[in-house]
């Protein structure tokens, strides 16, 4: 359903979207298309009727949620009255009955006085939250009642949760106070009846909180801002399936964008991707949750825009991205607000810290310490059966004879990573010798869903790290598939003395007096011409699956790079024939495919239409390239010679 002022939409863009919908309808007849011209009086009337129909579709669910929130608000009001009228005066009576003699007596009296004041403040907060929830239930969409049950529930949750913690702590302190010999007396006797009352109220509030957290957010409320704007592109599923909104500007680019090179095929691909991903997000009830686990000192995704575009792409597909700063937060993030019933698959993506970094402040953990903490978290996740996407940085830890902890989960899948020696490539140019720390790779050939998602798409891999197979216990079966690898030529080697190059900014590396050079004793290289048993390619990305008796299969994807899915890499642009195209289309396609594969949703893995806006020609295999060179250098002269001999034989 397109609702917009059609005069503001370019005719070419509208025609392309209509063509795509027609093709989709021919392939799957249960898809419809309609538009409302909100630029006319009759169109606005139709739009209001359309909104009314949308609200009526969810009328039963809205009514049930409104009633549940009303009960929760009533419970909050009741709890507020208990705190003000019963608990606070009772705590003050306990204070008065507690002997003031000695340091312990003075401390206890101060505690009960403070707790009474805290109870009154909590009561005030609960009353205010109940009022905000009531206001949220009175909101409207134009002149149509549409209670904001999500905002109402959030107002109550954010207030009830700390009150429950406060009551639980108070119950513990009251029990400790009544059971201690040093505090026996009238005060303890006055406090004993309070324990059961406080615990009862805590348990009742916990039930209310749990019901609020399990309340699913209505899809209609998720797009209510779009609906209010009067311009919307909506994908509407059957009742109970949901609604998705599409960015109208992305679906219908303005005429100025069309004039600078966005051709018809580009418009079709863009429309196909936007529509197909929105439909796929609706028909997939268990949309994955991506938890990015990193070893930085604190959470930073909100301050540093490293994954804004990646997050937007995932949201279009109904996938949520959550940050977990494992060093700052020991416990994993709570997902109840986005997954109330715990039915959505969770995929953990690791980001390794810089092991060479010092602590940000005095006493703060250095990079190696943070890597150890991240390794503990990843190992715990792997041992619990979680599916992981492990990325890795070059590390100084193997240089001290220890294993890089951030790669510890790889051992469960018969893999090991040589993070102590990243792969470098030597290239000689007209300006002199150049050491490349980054590689543009084409995917290895294969018939797996992952291979199909990135087929013929260049992928940028900063500071590649080699992966190797290792033996595993006999009772476990492991399958491994190499996704990306680097040809083992004489100009590529695993470098041990990489630290100075790592710490030098990229733009200043050209002025280094001398770059790293291959050292036979410390570095590693697999030159061409070695025996067949020696691997001839450096694997830098591997997908593995572990099958163990009595346990469900566990999956892992290892990528020997750390920054490969950041916005600065995935959204680099280049101009081809006047059109903007992704410079590294394989990076985003690999990440999205990896999420679906690790979530065990293989059927959703497919190469997006926008990935092939510009045709890509893959690199020629080194062996085939050598044969072609020989054919040109030797074959052409031989062909000329044979042609001459044939001519002489024919002429006699």
User: What pLDDT, in 10s, does the model give residues 380-414?
Assistant: 999 999 999 999 999 999 988 899 999 999 999 99
Is residue 593 scored above 60 in pLDDT?
A: yes
Average pLDDT over residues 545-570: 93
According to DSSP, the β-strands at 415-417 and 423-429 are unpaired
C-alpha distances in angstroms, 10 versus 252, 588, 613?
7, 29, 21
- pLDDT tens digits, residue range 182-209? 667 888 888 899 999 999 999 999 999 9
pLDDT in the model for residue 256: 46
Domain ranges of the chain: 2-48+229-259, 59-213, 287-612, 620-652
**Domain spanning 59-213, CATH class:** mainly alpha
How confident is residue 261, by pLDDT bands cut at 50, 70 and 90?
very low
| Lowest mean per-residue pLDDT among 186-190, 238-242, 475-479, 536-540 | 238-242
* pLDDT, tens digit, 9 for 90 and up, residues 100-121: 777 888 888 899 999 999 999 9
DSSP H helical ranges for 137-263: 149-179, 186-213, 219-222, 224-229, 248-251, 255-259
Residues 6+ apart with CB under 8 A from 650: none
Q: What's residue 336's pLDDT?
A: 79
497 touches 522 (CB < 8 A): yes
Paired tokens of 184: 């026996």
* Cα angle: 26, vertex 30, 34; to 5 degrees: 90
* Nearest C-alpha neighbor of 594 from the set 564, 569, 557: 557
Residue 260 confidence (pLDDT)? 43
d(CA 300, CA 280): 31
b/e map 407-431, b = 16+ CB within 10 Å: bbbbebbbbbbbbbbbbbbbeeeee
Judge whether residue 578 has pLDDT over 70. Answer: no
pLDDT at position 533 over 60: no
- Residue 609 is given by DSSP the state G
Q: Which residues contact 534 (CB under 8 A, 6 or more apart)?
A: 526
What pLDDT sits at residue 575?
Answer: 63
Q: What token pair was written down for 52?
A: 């009314």
| Global confidence as pTM | 0.73
Confidence bin at 66 (pLDDT 50/70/90):
very high
């Amino acid at each position: 359903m397109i609702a917009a002022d059609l005069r503001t939409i370019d005719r070419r863009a509208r025609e392309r979207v209509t063509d795509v919908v027609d093709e989709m309808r021919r392939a799957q007849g249960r898809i419809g298309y309609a538009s409302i011209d909100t630029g006319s009086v009759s169109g606005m009337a139709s739009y209001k009727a359309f909104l009314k129909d949308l609200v009526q579709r969810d009328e039963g669910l809205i009514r049930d949620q409104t009633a549940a929130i009303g009960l929760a608000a009533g419970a909050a009001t009741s709890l507020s009255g208990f705190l003000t009228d019963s608990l606070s005066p009772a705590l003050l009576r306990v204070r008065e009955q507690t002997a003031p003699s000695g340091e312990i007596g003075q401390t206890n009296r101060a505690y009960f006085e403070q707790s009474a004041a805290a109870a009154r403040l909590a009561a005030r907060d609960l009353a205010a939250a109940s009022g905000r929830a009531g206001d949220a239930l009175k909101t409207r969409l134009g002149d149509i009642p549409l209670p904001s049950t999500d905002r109402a529930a959030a107002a109550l949750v954010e207030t009830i949760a700390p009150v429950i913690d406060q009551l639980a702590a108070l119950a513990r302190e009251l029990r400790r106070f009544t059971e201690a010999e040093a505090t026996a007396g009238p005060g303890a006797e006055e406090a004993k009846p309070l324990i059961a009352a406080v615990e009862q109220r805590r348990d009742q509030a916990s039930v209310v909180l749990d019901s609020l957290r399990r309340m699913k957010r209505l899809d209609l409320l998720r797009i209510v801002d779009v609906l209010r704007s009067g311009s919307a592109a909506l994908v509407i599923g059957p009742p109970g399936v949901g609604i998705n909104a599409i960015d109208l500007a992305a679906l219908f680019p303005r005429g100025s964008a069309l004039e600078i090179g966005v051709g018809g095929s580009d418009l079709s691909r863009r429309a196909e991707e936007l529509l197909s991903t929105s439909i796929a997000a609706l028909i997939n009830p268990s949309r994955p949750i991506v938890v990015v686990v990193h070893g930085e000192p604190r959470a930073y995704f909100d301050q540093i825009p490293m994954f804004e575009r990646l997050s937007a792409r995932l949201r279009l597909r109904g996938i949520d991205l959550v940050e977990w700063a494992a060093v700052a937060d020991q416990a994993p993030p709570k997902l109840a607000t986005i997954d109330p019933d715990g039915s959505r698959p969770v995929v953990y993506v690791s980001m390794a810290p810089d092991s060479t970094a010092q602590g940000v402040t005095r006493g703060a953990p250095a990079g190696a310490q943070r890597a150890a903490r991240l390794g503990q978290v990843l190992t715990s996740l792997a041992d619990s059966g979680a599916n992981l996407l492990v990325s890795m940085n070059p590390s100084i830890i193997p240089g001290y004879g220890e294993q890089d902890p951030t790669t510890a989960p790889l051992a469960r899948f018969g893999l090991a990573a040589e993070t102590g020696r990243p792969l470098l490539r030597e290239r000689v140019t007209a300006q002199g010798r150049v050491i490349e720390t980054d590689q543009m790779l084409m995917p290895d050939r294969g018939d797996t869903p992952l291979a199909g998602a990135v087929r013929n798409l260049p992928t940028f891999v900063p500071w590649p790290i080699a992966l190797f197979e290792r033996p595993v216990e006999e009772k476990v079966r492991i399958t491994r598939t190499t996704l990306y690898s680097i040809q083992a030529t004489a100009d590529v080697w695993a470098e041990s003395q990489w630290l100075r190059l790592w710490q030098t900014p990229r733009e200043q590396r050209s002025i280094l007096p001398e770059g790293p050079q291959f050292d036979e004793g410390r570095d590693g290289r697999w030159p061409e011409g070695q025996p067949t048993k020696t691997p001839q390619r450096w694997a830098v990305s591997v997908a593995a699956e572990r099958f163990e008796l009595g346990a469900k299969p566990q999956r892992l994807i290892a990528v020997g790079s750390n920054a490969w899915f950041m916005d600065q890499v995935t959204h680099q642009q280049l101009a081809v024939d006047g059109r903007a195209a992704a410079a590294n289309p394989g990076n985003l396609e690999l990440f999205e495919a990896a999420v679906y594969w690790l979530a065990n949703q293989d059927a959703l893995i497919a190469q997006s239409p926008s990935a092939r806006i510009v045709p890509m020609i893959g690199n020629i295999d080194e062996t085939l390239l050598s044969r072609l060179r020989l054919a040109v250098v030797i074959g052409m002269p031989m062909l000329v010679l044979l042609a001459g001999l044939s001519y002489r034989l024919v002429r006699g």
